[in-house]
């Protein structure tokens, strides 16, 4: 291996900083080729620590350094490639540093860079060290004053955190602006934007009467795509006051949209920077899913103002403190804005698609990891989504009021501090007088618990007993796991399909409750309920109260019974998923042994009864109709067989469509839009249901009427949701319709990079056999660029993560293509390179031939010269080395 093994950083090695910074004064002389940065720091020794002043720095040219006005000689400090250290300093002093950076060369998009000709920054996690020498760690919090100077004609808009203090004209066509942020913050929340941008403005009055100016800055011409993001922002501000009593704390809140961005968005104090695709939306350019995502991300970044900014993380191991909590908050917000069960279903789908495989694979880590090489690799589904589940479980245990008490105490204790996950749990305990000692294990133990449930009924005593057992498999570096405290919500359905009141044996429960959260905290535990009539069917893990893998001894008929009757809509959906998964797995077995798959029609009948139920939300019915994905099905197999999974799933879908053809056509017709597009939940639900019906009807690919139906759907669509729903189907048709639609789409949207991502992505996900050839060709398309993360994710990332059948092609070309692209991207943008690598780590679940091919690509990646720490960590861990 050519690269030296980078060093892992460990939680147990945490030490407080030797010096603290009270105030940062920054001055930027902005030029694309060479920006000068002057920083003046008010520094004082930390009484709780010792050692030299350690400043991080990366790709900086040091121009000068002075302490209390006296320039330091080279021998007075130690300058390494990644840090600068000074010893023998007074307890309190001013440090002046001048550096030079090259924004135009910054293709990593960390620190100060250019996007579409405008300056912008991204500092989380460790980008500030690419701007100036600084203790780049979240437990150093300071107030900031920022002055920037730039050419007025090219960069009329100059923004930073906090309030605009003053502005003026300079010489030679320059102008300047000075901003001040009164709230102490870690440097990862610093931001600066300078550019030629259009502004979409509104305002908000907080509960206590503060007027806040709200502005969204976008490229000229995109002003008409900001209304929904603005509306989402205003709704988030109100919701956070109502639900958590949290008000906005400054007079300005700015959002800036940029095209080149490593992730979705960033919560910099009062100056959120967003990936354009997470802001811009119009009915003609964004799907309903895009609208939902924009609403959630705008809310997420806004909510960080309290959970992340006012109270931040002591160190990066505590990332879930702000991310898990903020995801939980944005999930709750969306759930209040839209249908709660549908939101829960969507979140669980995401958890299962992204976090469960991560937790079962070589990259498994606890929500509070214990070591990392590159922290950017830990912005994971585990830290975010499982982190949110852990917060949700606390809410389940403490109740909504108890949880709110805990949150209040957390802010009372820790406002303006950098704290740990432990501090959060302690606040929850102290506010409620409870002991969460056992529950804490969720923070340190990785892996998804397997929960097995059986039950017994004693007719003589009318006693129903749940018999629970739990086990968490070993994960890299963690063996012999402990049983967790799992809050498991259950119910019992009578033969009439109604909930039975729950009376737990040994408790004098006076109130009639139909759902109960059990405290399941041992390896094996029984819970009994009295007065239960015969024939009751249990409903387990209602609302997905705990993020576990459940296996329960349901018969096929019991699953269908739950699918038709469970009052807990999440579990009704869950029963449909379990039933479909079971049936498809059986068909896979038949296909693998060379037999014809056998179709059983019970599932279609249960589906039809839900489709015909006028009391159900169409958005929910659409979820019920969506079969488990090929990836999810394959994860339930010992050795993944994507081809067989694809065949079985298609066969099953086609069979359902054949049986329900009449009602599907009726559903499709009923949904024909007559009203203007609106992104509200009810309209989205109607579109989702109609498109779900079309999805089934399209399985009659050989029927001319059905092909025409999809083509017509595409051609007559008056919104992006319908257009994409049809395009996704045409994309798998082998005839001319596909090419015609793709060409029309390109023609229509070639000027809109956000929409063109969809065009690249849909093609990357095609099931047609020549997809890889087409993808390779698309890398030379004028709209594609390796420097734009959205494009790489849309084409390369989507192919590897969302097109398993073609990615795992027999000849190994899919693997080779991904590895080639990772090696190429490593030199341009290591964060993006490392984030598309995970599918190669799935080799353990493949057959020996594929295992060998995948491992050899991982080895080839590891042999790359100048391999970044980002890619090294992901590739070596994926191969099974414990880094
Ligand atoms: N906090 C940022 C993510 C930063 C990722 C750095 N690699 C966005 C968010 O979670 O809100
Ligand atoms: Zn976040």
**From CA 585, how far away is CA 577, in angstroms rounded?**
12
Report the pLDDT averaged over residues 71-93.
Answer: 98
Kindly give the pairing relationship between strand 311-313 and strand 450-458: unpaired
Residues with CB under 6 A from ligand 1: 124-125, 263, 265-267, 300-301, 304, 323, 376, 379
Left if phi > 0, otherwise alpha if psi is -120 to 50, otherwise beta: which for 399? left
Sign of the alpha-carbon dihedral angle for 52, 56, 59, 64: negative
Buried b / exposed e along 48-74 (16+ C-beta atoms within 10 A)? eeeeebbbbbbbbebeebebeeeeeee
| pLDDT given at position 701 | 86
- Domain presence at residue 584: yes
Are 580 and 692 in a shared domain? yes
Q: Whose CA is nearest to atom 3 of ligand 1?
A: 266
Q: Whose CA is nearest to atom 2 of ligand 1?
A: 266
Catalytic residue among 124, 301, 429, 737, which? 301
- Domain presence at residue 396: yes
Distance 376 CA to ligand 2 centre (A): 13
pLDDT digits over 85-135, tens only? 999 999 999 999 999 999 999 999 999 999 999 999 999 999 999 999 999
- Domain presence at residue 388: yes
Report the pLDDT averaged over residues 790-797.
Answer: 98
Q: Around ion ligand 2, which residues have CB less than 5 A away?
A: 323, 326
pLDDT digits over 383-428, tens only? 999 999 999 999 999 999 999 999 999 999 999 999 999 999 999 9
Q: Choose the final residue of a domain: 181, 196, 211.
A: 196
Q: Choose the final residue of a domain: 546, 561, 594.
A: 546
Report the pLDDT averaged over residues 763-772.
Answer: 97
Are 527 and 590 in a shared domain? no
Q: Note whether 162 and 189 are within 8 A (CB).
A: no
- Domain presence at residue 724: no
pTM of the model: 0.98
**From CA 873, how far away is CA 877, in angstroms rounded?**
6
**From CA 405, how far away is CA 397, in angstroms rounded?**
13
Are 50 and 185 in a shared domain? yes
Q: How confident is the model at residue 64 (pLDDT cuts 50, 70, 90)?
A: very high
Alpha carbon 843 to chain centroid, angstroms: 24
| pLDDT given at position 514 | 97
| pLDDT given at position 506 | 85
Report the pLDDT averaged over residues 634-657.
Answer: 98
CATH number at residue 660: 1.25.50.10
CATH number at residue 185: 2.60.40.1730
Assign 158 to helix, strand or coil: strand
412 is catalytic: no
Distance 388 CA to ligand 1 centre (A): 15
Assign 507 to helix, strand or coil: coil
Q: Note whether 253 and 212 are within 8 A (CB).
A: yes
Are 541 and 579 in a shared domain? no
Are 592 and 528 in a shared domain? no
pLDDT digits over 243-301, tens only? 999 999 999 999 999 999 999 999 999 999 999 999 999 999 999 999 999 999 999 99
**From CA 145, how far away is CA 142, in angstroms rounded?**
10
Packing angle, helices 556-565 and 602-611, rounded to 10:
0
Are 536 and 582 in a shared domain? no
- DSSP per residue over 8-20, as a string? PEEGGG----SEE
Report the pLDDT averaged over residues 537-542.
Answer: 98
Residue closest to 280 by CA, chosen among 298, 302, 301: 298
Are 14 and 149 in a shared domain? yes
Per-chain mean pLDDT for the chain: 97
CATH number at residue 435: 1.10.390.10
Q: From the alpha carbon of 125, which atom of ligand 1 is closest? A: 6
- DSSP per residue over 305-365, as a string? TTBTTTEEESSGGGHHHHHHHHHHHHHHHHHHHS-HHHHHHHHHHHIIIIIHHHHHSTT--
Q: Note whether 667 and 687 are within 8 A (CB).
A: no
pLDDT digits over 24-57, tens only? 999 999 999 999 999 999 999 999 999 999 999 9
Triad 7, 10, 11: Cα angle to 5°: 160
Ligand nearest to the CA of 326: 2
Residue closest to 394 by CA, chosen among 402, 386, 382, 385: 402
User: Which of 379, 385, 831, 832 best tests ligand 1's pocket when mutated (most atoms within 8 Å of CB)?
Assistant: 379
Q: From the alpha carbon of 300, which atom of ligand 1 is closest? A: 11
Beta bridge partners of 65: 97
- Domain presence at residue 729: no
Distance 379 CA to ligand 2 centre (A): 9
% of the chain residues with pLDDT over 90: 97
- Domain presence at residue 345: yes
Q: Whose CA is nearest to atom 5 of ligand 1?
A: 124
Q: Is 70 exceeded by the pLDDT of residue 592? A: yes
Are 501 and 408 in a shared domain? no
pLDDT digits over 480-529, tens only? 999 999 999 999 999 999 999 999 998 876 677 999 999 999 999 999 99
**From CA 689, how far away is CA 475, in angstroms rounded?**
40
| pLDDT given at position 509 | 65
Are 538 and 582 in a shared domain? no
Question: To which residue do tokens 């498809």 refer?
Answer: 584
Q: From the alpha carbon of 308, which atom of ligand 1 is closest? A: 1
The DSSP H or E segment spanning 255 is: strand 252-258
| pLDDT given at position 671 | 78
Q: From the alpha carbon of 304, which atom of ligand 1 is closest? A: 11
Report the pLDDT averaged over residues 436-457.
Answer: 98
Q: Is 80 exceeded by the pLDDT of residue 673? A: no
Are 535 and 439 in a shared domain? no
Q: What is the CA radius of gyration of the chain?
A: 28
Are 57 and 116 in a shared domain? yes
% of the chain residues with pLDDT over 70: 99
Q: How confident is the model at residue 2 (pLDDT cuts 50, 70, 90)?
A: very low
| pLDDT given at position 3 | 46
pLDDT digits over 330-351, tens only? 999 999 999 999 999 999 999 9
**From CA 530, how far away is CA 504, in angstroms rounded?**
6
How many structural domains compose the chain?
4
Tokens of 425: 């749990």
**From CA 761, how far away is CA 833, in angstroms rounded?**
17
Question: To which residue do tokens 């093994």 refer?
Answer: 5
CATH number at residue 498: 2.60.40.1840
Q: Choose the final residue of a domain: 444, 473, 494.
A: 444
- Domain presence at residue 143: yes
Q: Note whether 729 and 742 are within 8 A (CB).
A: no
Domain that holds residue 341: 311-444
Q: Note whether 731 and 742 are within 8 A (CB).
A: yes
Distance 224 CA to ligand 2 centre (A): 27
- Domain presence at residue 406: yes
Report the pLDDT averaged over residues 221-246.
Answer: 98
Are 533 and 581 in a shared domain? no
Q: From the alpha carbon of 267, which atom of ligand 1 is closest? A: 11
User: Which of 136, 258, 266, 294 best tests ligand 1's pocket when mutated (most atoms within 8 Å of CB)?
Assistant: 266
- Residues with Cβ within 8 Å of residue 756, at least 6 apart in sequence: 746, 749, 750, 783
């Amino acid at each position: 291996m050519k690269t030296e093994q980078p060093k892992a950083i460990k939680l147990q090695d945490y030490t407080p900083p030797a010096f603290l910074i009270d105030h940062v004064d920054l001055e930027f002389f902005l030029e694309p080729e060479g920006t000068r940065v002057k920083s003046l720091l008010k520094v004082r020794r930390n009484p709780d620590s010792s050692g030299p002043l350690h400043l991080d720095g990366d790709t900086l040219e040091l121009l000068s350094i002075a302490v209390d006005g006296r320039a330091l000689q080279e021998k007075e400090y130690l300058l390494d490639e990644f840090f600068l250290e000074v010893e023998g300093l007074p307890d309190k002093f001013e440090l002046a540093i001048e550096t030079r950076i090259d924004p135009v060369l910054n293709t990593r998009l960390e620190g100060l860079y250019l996007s579409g000709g405008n300056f912008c920054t991204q500092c989380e996690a460790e980008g500030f060290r690419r701007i100036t020498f600084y203790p780049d760690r979240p437990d150093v919090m300071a107030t900031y004053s920022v002055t920037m100077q730039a050419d007025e004609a090219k960069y009329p808009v100059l923004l930073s955190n906090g309030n605009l203090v003053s502005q003026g004209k300079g010489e030679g066509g320059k102008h300047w602006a000075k901003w001040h942020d009164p709230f102490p913050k870690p440097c990862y929340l610093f931001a600066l934007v300078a550019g030629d941008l259009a502004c979409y403005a509104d305002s908000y009055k907080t509960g206590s009467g503060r007027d806040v100016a709200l502005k969204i800055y976008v490229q000229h011409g995109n002003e008409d795509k900001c209304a929904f993001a603005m509306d989402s922002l205003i709704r988030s501000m109100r919701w956070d006051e109502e639900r958590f009593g949290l008000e906005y704390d400054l007079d300005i809140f700015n959002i800036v949209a940029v095209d080149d961005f490593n992730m979705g968005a960033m919560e910099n104090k009062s100056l959120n920077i967003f990936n354009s695709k997470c802001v811009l939306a119009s009915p003609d350019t964004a799907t309903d899913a895009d609208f939902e995502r924009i609403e959630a991300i705008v809310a997420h970044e806004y909510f960080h103002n309290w959970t992340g900014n006012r109270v931040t993380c002591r160190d990066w191991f505590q990332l879930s403190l702000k991310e898990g909590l903020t995801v939980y908050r944005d999930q709750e917000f969306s759930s209040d804005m839209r249908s709660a069960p549908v939101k829960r279903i969507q979140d669980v789908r995401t958890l299962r698609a992204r976090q469960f495989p991560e937790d079962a694979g070589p990259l498994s880590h606890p929500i509070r990891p214990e070591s990392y090489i590159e922290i950017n690799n830990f912005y994971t589904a585990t830290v975010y989504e499982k982190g949110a589940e852990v917060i949700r479980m606390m809410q389940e245990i403490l109740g909504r009021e108890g949880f709110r008490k805990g949150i209040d105490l957390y802010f009372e204790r820790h406002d303006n501090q950098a704290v740990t996950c432990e501090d959060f749990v302690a606040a929850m305990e102290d506010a409620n007088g409870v002991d969460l000692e056992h529950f804490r294990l969720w923070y340190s133990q990785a892996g998804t618990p397997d929960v097995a449930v059986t039950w017994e009924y004693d007719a003589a005593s009318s006693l129903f007993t749940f018999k629970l057992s739990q086990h968490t498999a070993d994960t890299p570096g963690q063996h012999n796991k402990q049983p967790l405290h799992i809050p498991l919500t259950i119910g019992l359905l009578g033969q009439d399909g109604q909930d039975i009141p729950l009376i737990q044996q040994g408790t004098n429960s006076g109130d009639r409750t139909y759902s109960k959260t059990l405290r399941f905290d041992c390896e094996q535990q029984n819970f009994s309920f009295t007065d239960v009539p015969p024939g009751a069917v249990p409903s387990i893990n209602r609302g997905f109260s705990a993020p576990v893998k459940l296996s329960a001894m349901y018969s096929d008929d019991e699953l269908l019974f739950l699918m038709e009757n469970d009052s807990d809509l999440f579990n009704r959906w869950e029963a449909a998923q379990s039933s479909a998964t079971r049936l498809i797995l059986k068909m896979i077995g038949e296909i693998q042994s060379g037999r014809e798959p056998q179709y059983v029609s019970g599932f279609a009948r249960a589906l039809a009864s839900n489709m015909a139920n006028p009391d159900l939300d169409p958005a929910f019915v659409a979820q019920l109709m969506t079969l488990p994905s090929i990836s999810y099905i394959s994860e339930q197999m010992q050795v993944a067989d994507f081809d067989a999974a694809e065949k079985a799933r298609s066969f099953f879908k086609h069979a359902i469509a054949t049986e329900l053809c009449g009602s599907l056509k009726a559903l499709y017709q009923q949904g024909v839009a007559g009203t203007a597009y609106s992104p509200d939940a009810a309209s989205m639900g109607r579109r989702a249901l109609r498109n779900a019906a079309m999805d089934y009807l399209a399985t009659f690919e050989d029927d001319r009427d059905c092909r025409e139906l999809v083509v017509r759907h595409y051609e007559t669509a008056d919104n992006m949701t319908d257009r994409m729903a049809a395009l996704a189907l045409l994309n798998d048709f082998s005839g001319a319709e596909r090419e015609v639609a793709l060409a029309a789409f390109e023609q229509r949207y070639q000027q809109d990079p956000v929409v063109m991502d969809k065009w690249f992505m849909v093609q990357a996900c095609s099931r047609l056999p020549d997809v890889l050839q087409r993808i390779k060709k698309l890398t030379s398309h004028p709209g594609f660029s390796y420097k734009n993360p959205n494009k790489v994710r849309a084409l390369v990332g989507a192919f590897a993560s969302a097109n398993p059948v073609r990615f795992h092609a027999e000849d190994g070309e899919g693997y080779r293509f991904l590895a080639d692209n990772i090696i190429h991207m490593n030199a341009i943008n290591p964060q993006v390179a490392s984030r598309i690598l995970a599918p190669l780590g799935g080799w353990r679940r493949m057959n020996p031939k594929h295992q060998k091919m995948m491992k050899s690509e991982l080895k080839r990646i590891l042999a790359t010269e100048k391999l970044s720490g980002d890619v090294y960590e992901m590739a070596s861990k994926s191969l099974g080395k414990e880094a």
